[in-house]
Amino acid sequence: MSTDVVTPEPAAGGAHGAGHGVGHHGPKWLAHHFETPTQQFDAAKLGMWAFLAQELLFFSGLFVAYGVYRNWYPEMFKAAAHQLNKEMGATNTVVLLFSSLTIALAVRSAQVGNRKLTGRLILTTIACACMFLVIKFFEYKHKFEGGLLPGRFFHPHAEHLVHGAPALPENTGTFFGIYFMMTGVHGVHVLIGIGVLVWIWIRNNRGDFSKEYFTPVDIVALYWHLVDLVWIYLFPLLYLI
């Protein structure tokens, strides 16, 4: 018979001492239930990727709806897409891609411990996000003026439509329903993104981050890249084809 089985023993190695209640646990940003900073960082990244997985599936429903209706009414979709402003959409794409660059650079500067640069890059990202929303606002304004609204509110006003574009079939309300849902849900995510970016700017300003601990910046950046990823698909599918 073996003697040494599930013997409660002090944790092997690591920053933790013999059992609890004894000695210093580690740096103050190391949570009590983690043994090492690497464990905490890895867990945070893993958890964030699992969360991003669900975000992707959340948007996937909208893309499937898009796919189904595009398949059924290809001409209607083409005609409706002409009413969207390609130039504003492309500008928004470049703005978001640039914001992805700045937040990636912000993570990098946090990794090397450059607090000032990190703060400036986060602010730049926030500015890009706001610019995105402003452009979106003007796009929506144009849709409202033209009566290009979802479902039962679809009443196009000929004088506000794009000239020379194909005529809009009767069921174009479906396209605009999908358009507003997709861009609207995406826009809500941009808004939430601004919120969390402001939060990590504040924390960075406070001096919470260092070469050793930059996890929240990394996590928020991952969220922001997802927002960019969704738009990378949204833009061509709605505006360009």
Partner 1 sequence: MSTSTDAHHAHGHADDGGVHVHVSSVPFYIAVFLGLLVLTGMTVGQSYVDLGKLNIVIVVLIATMKASLVVTFFMHLRWDNKFNALIFISTIFFIGIFFAYTLHDTDRRGELDPDQNVKVWQKNGERAPGGMEE
Partner 2 sequence: MAAITTTPGHHDEVDPNVSYLKSTRGIMSWLTTLDHKRIGVMYLISVSVAFALGGVFALLVRLELFSRGRTIMDADTYNRMFSLHGVVMVFLFIIPSIPAAMGNIILPIQLGAKDVAFPRLNLLSLYVYIFGACFGIYSMINGGVDTGWTFYTPYSSSDPAHGGVGSPSAVIPMTLAAFIMGFSSILTGVNFIATIHKMRAPGLTWRRLTLFTWSLYATSIIQVLATPVLAITLLLLTMERFLGLGIFDPRLGGDPVLFQHFFWFYSHPAVYIMIVPGMGIVSELIATFSRREPVGYMAIAMSSLGLALLGFLVWGHHLFVAGMSEYATMVFSALTFLVAIPSGVKIFNWVATLYKGSISLQSPMLWALSFLFLFTIGGLTGLFLGMLAVDVHLHDTYFVVAHFHYVMVGGTVMGFFGGLHYWWPKFTGKMYEEGLAKVGWFFVFIGFNVTFLTQFVLGSRGMPRRYYDYLPKFEQLHQISTVGSWVLGVGFIIILINLARSLIGGKPAPRNPWGSAALEWMTPSPPPLYNFVKDPVLTRGQYDYQLATDDELYEGYDDPLFPNAKMIAAKRAAEGAGE
Is residue 155 involved in binding partner 2 (CB under 8 A)?
no
Dihedral of alpha carbons 109, 130, 62, 51, sign? positive
* Interface pick for partner 2 out of 123, 131, 161, 185 (rule CB under 8 A): 185
Minimum CB–partner distance for residue 1 and partner 1 (Å): 37
233 binds partner 2 (CB under 8 A): no
50 binds partner 1 (CB under 8 A): yes
Q: Identify which of residues 94 and 191 has a Cβ nearer to partner 1 in the complex.
A: 94
> Shortest distance, CB of residue 188 to partner 1, whole angstroms?
20
Type of residue at 175 = F
Q: Which of residues 209-228 bind partner 1 (CB under 8 A)?
A: 211-213, 215, 221-222, 225, 228
- Measured CA distances, 86 to 81, 127, 168, 198, 239 (Å): 9, 22, 18, 30, 6
Instruction: Please provide the DSSP assignment of 45-101 as one string.
Output: HHHHHHHHHHHHHHHHHHHHHHHHHHHH-HHHHHHHHTTS-HHHHHHHHHHHHHHHH
Stretch that binds partner 1, among 1-9, 55-63, 179-187, 198-206 (CB under 8 A): 55-63
21 binds, among partner 1, partner 2, none (CB under 5 to 8 A by kind): partner 2
Q: Does 53 bind partner 1 (CB under 8 A)?
A: yes
Total number of residues shown for the chain: 241
